[in-house]
Amino acid sequence: MTSTVDQSTTPVTRSWRAALLTIAIMLVGCADDRTAVGPLPDNAVILAFGDSITYGTGVSTAESYPAQLARLTGFEVVNAGVPGETADQGLVRLPALLDEFRPDLVVLCHGGNDILRNRPESRTEQDLRRMVEVIRGSGARVLLIGVPRKSLFLATAPVYARVAEELDVPFVDDVLADVLGNGDLKSDAVHPNAAGYRTIAERIAEAVE
């Protein structure tokens, strides 16, 4: 009579399952750590820095993502978005805002106009890196928001993941790609509507909880 061993009950198989479960938990933890900013003080000031996405083009001021983020978190959120601005222009504008508002956190969502105008990616990356350095030099933390490249299927431009990984910056990867890829969340081809800005605010709020 031939017998078979139920491999699901052997010590070796159980050990492998435990190891795989541990790896999965570690990977989830790493993903959470990549996004999480960590707790902010109760009186924290958040500087939302960027271009028209930050400004809230297409909606009222109250429906912009910084305004919705303020309502979600209870923090003071300064809307420092300038429509049409490129990353090199933002780099020039940034230091004065840091001096004026002394933020605890800067939400950096920049580079979309660079992509639309076909500015060399290396230049945009250099400017983003420098902005992160300037923000950290002021004592503030940074949360980087990925911006999608121009393509049929929207995906975040690779430059953002590189900057986030190499400078160890918390990073919200795909929220803009998700929003701008959904016709129900857009006011035009490149700007969210109120619901889209709400989605962005919710994802950022998750990162600062």
- DSSP summary character for residue 83: T
Residue ranges of alpha helices (H) inside 41-86 are 52-55, 65-73
DSSP codes joined into one string, 144-159:
EE--BPSSSS--B-HH
Domain count, the chain: 2
Same-domain status, 113 and 128: yes
Same-domain status, 105 and 174: yes
Residue 150 in domain: yes
Query: Is the pLDDT at 24 greater than 50, yes or no?
Result: no
Same-domain status, 65 and 168: yes
CB 197 within 8 A of CB 54: no
Closest to 142 in 3D by CA, of 179, 113, 109, 114? 109
Strand (E) or helix (H) holding 205 = helix 194-208
Same-domain status, 48 and 150: yes
Instruction: Give the dihedral sign, CA 62/63/66/71.
Output: positive
Count Cα atoms within 13 angstroms, Cβ side, for 14. Answer: 4
145-204, pLDDT tens digit by residue? Answer: 999 998 767 899 999 999 999 999 999 999 999 999 999 999 999 999 999 999 999 999
79-105, pLDDT tens digit by residue? Answer: 999 999 999 999 999 999 999 999 999
| Structure tokens given for 65 | 């993502």
Range(s) of the domain holding residue 21: 7-36
DSSP codes joined into one string, 160-190:
HHHHHHHHT--EE-SHHHHHHT-GGGBSSSS
| Structure tokens given for 137 | 């030099």
33-83, pLDDT tens digit by residue? Answer: 567 898 899 999 999 999 999 999 999 999 999 999 999 999 999 999 999
Average pLDDT of every residue of the chain: 87
